[in-house]
Homo-oligomer: A and B are copies of this chain.
Amino acid sequence: MSQSEPLRISVVTEYSAIVRGLHAMLHRHESRVMIVDQDLDGDNPRQVDIALYDTFAQDQGGTGEVARLARHPRVGRVAVLTWNFDEELVQQALSRGASGYLARSLPAAALVDALERVHRGETVVSTPTGHGQVAGEWPGREEALAPREAEVLALITQGLPNTVIAAQTHLSINSVKSYIRTAYRKIGVTSRSQAVLWGVRHGFEPDRRRHRPVGGATIASL
């Protein structure tokens, strides 16, 4: 795999910080992979080798989205990048066309390896390494928010209630509330409304031009 063109990877997410983080993370392997930041459904439809679906504040397992990407004429393979390793979710993603189900906790080199194997046609499923330190970047990292806290905040910034957040993240509602509590403390708010405002002012609003979800638990008419 050494002397061919670098793999063209499109990161499917609504959060630019995710793309930036992955870009920075994989930059030192630019001879093997490159992040192409383009709209797959836009006017500039160049082929990408792998669509990397990041589940941050997204439908976990991306039921509809993974299938759509798998059918996408410009997309070679589909891989999911996540920290949720429910057997159910893994199977769902694979059955809908994903060739990779990769852990957020993977170090850069391992991630590149996995991507190359996916591109070769293998089906790569990370072993859930437990909960190691997570590399990369996410919205709110600078504000000392843990990934889960940031994720919950991102969903709050979409106006979702705790029950929906729990369903979408496959967490118990008690866990959701735990993350909310610690997140509130870190960002210095005491109510959901204030959290929403903090979110919109700190780039937690999903960038819907980047990728608009299909169906699912989103709020219409806003």
Contacts and interface: CB of A to CB of B under 8 A. Distances in A.
A194 interface: yes
A66 to B, nearest CB: 27
Contact of A196 (B160, B161, B196, B221): B196
Contacts of A44: none
B159 A191 contact: yes
Interface residues of A, number: 20
Interface stretch (A18-26, A76-84, A197-205): A197-205
Nearest to A187: B221
Contacts of A200: 197, 200
Contacts of A159: 189, 191, 193-194, 196-197
A156 interface: yes
Interface string A126-168: 0000000000000000000000000000001111110000000
A189 to B, nearest CB: 7
A15 B99 CA distance: 52
A1 interface: no
Interface of A: 156-161, 188-189, 191-194, 196-198, 200-201, 219, 221-222
